[in-house]
């Protein structure tokens, strides 16, 4: 409950003052000038918001929420372009991971933990449809989310266009290819896209990838948990880079 701010005017003040807000929950059917002003603010500042039943808000906080509850960010996000520019200044071949539809907070935290160990330069997540970066995610990451650069973007496609313009190869981690991760040159500036376990990488994102690669499977199940798959890809990149 300590991570929630509620009440329409306190939330408006928090947004206007630049407080770091992860997401705003709004009661379905709300209207009025104050609500309209809040909606304009969160839209302009690209803060994720969701319309929910009153019961959902009642389960989040026990005070008079007036139909508005904001979840405060647990980490300091890095602006996407700034993160890329800083990584390019620091090394010749940065490595980023983009998470397309990975919504489970424990999977996200586990990916962040492996990414920090593998010296990944940053994780890029969508503002909508991704895992909430909450206390559970930070705990699952063993604190890695407090160390690794993380950027939230409203448009993953635009993020990929920017990476392509800056000389990155975009590698889709997908089983729908004949190439294996061992066939990819990870010593180049690289961004790896991981999709959700259920749907995989969305087609609009997949169409922008310059490479695709799979993890070879010898067993009968034929699929891996997304955090495990991400770790395997990361450490193939580490293997190649330490052998240069």
Sequence ranges of the domains in the chain: 4-72, 80-242
The span from the CA of 189 to the CA of 32, in Å, is 49
Helix (H) and strand (E) counts for the chain? 9, 10
Comparing 4-72 with 80-242, is the CATH topology the same? no
pLDDT of residue 172: 98
Q: Identify the pLDDT of residue 21.
A: 87
CA angle, residues 108, 215, 209, in degrees to nearest 5: 75
The reply to whether the predicted model has a pTM over 0.85 is no
pLDDT tens for the chain, residues 1 to 244: 568 889 999 999 989 988 888 889 999 999 999 999 999 999 998 888 999 999 999 998 888 899 999 988 778 889 999 999 999 999 889 999 999 989 888 999 999 999 999 999 999 999 887 777 777 777 888 888 888 999 989 899 999 999 999 999 999 999 999 999 999 999 999 999 999 878 899 999 999 999 999 999 998 887 899 999 999 999 999 999 998 7
pLDDT of amino acid 2: 60
List the end-to-end C-alpha distance of the chain, in Å, as a whole number.
Answer: 49
Task: Give the separation between CA 123 and CA 71, rounded to whole angstroms.
Answer: 21
Residue 243 has what DSSP assignment? T
DSSP string for 48-117: EEEEE-HHHHHHH-SS--TTEEEEEPSS-PPPHHHHHHHHHHH-SS-EEEEEES---HHHHHHHHHHHHH
Q: What's the pLDDT score for residue 133?
A: 76
CATH of 4-72, one of 3.40.980.10, 3.30.1330.30, 3.30.360.10, 3.40.710.10: 3.30.1330.30
- Domain 80-242, CATH among 1.10.10.10, 3.40.1280.10, 3.40.50.10610, 3.40.190.10: 3.40.1280.10
Residue 204, token pair as written in the block: 């609009």
């Amino acid at each position: 409950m300590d991570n929630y701010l509620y009440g329409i005017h306190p939330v408006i003040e928090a947004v206007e003052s630049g407080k770091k807000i992860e997401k705003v929950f709004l009661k379905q059917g709300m209207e009025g000038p104050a609500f309209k002003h809040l909606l304009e603010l969160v839209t302009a500042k690209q803060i994720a918001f969701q319309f929910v039943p009153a019961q959902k808000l009642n389960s989040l906080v026990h005070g008079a929420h007036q139909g508005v509850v904001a979840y405060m960010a647990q980490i300091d996000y890095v602006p996407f372009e700034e993160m890329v520019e800083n990584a390019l200044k620091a090394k010749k071949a940065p490595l980023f991971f983009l998470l397309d539809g990975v919504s489970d907070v424990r999977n996200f935290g586990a990916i962040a933990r492996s990414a920090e160990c593998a010296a990944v330069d940053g994780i890029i997540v969508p503002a909508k449809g991704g895992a909430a970066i909450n206390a559970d995610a930070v705990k699952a990451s063993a604190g890695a989310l407090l160390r690794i650069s993380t950027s939230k973007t409203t448009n993953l496609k635009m993020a990929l266009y920017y990476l392509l313009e800056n000389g990155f190869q975009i590698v889709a981690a997908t089983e729908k290819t004949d190439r294996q991760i061992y066939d990819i040159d990870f010593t180049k500036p690289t961004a790896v896209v991981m999709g959700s376990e259920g749907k995989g990488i969305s087609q609009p994102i997949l169409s922008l990838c310059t490479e695709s690669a799979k993890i070879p499977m010898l067993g009968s199940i034929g699929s891996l948990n997304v955090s495990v798959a991400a770790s395997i890809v990361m450490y193939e990149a580490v293997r190649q880079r330490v052998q240069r």
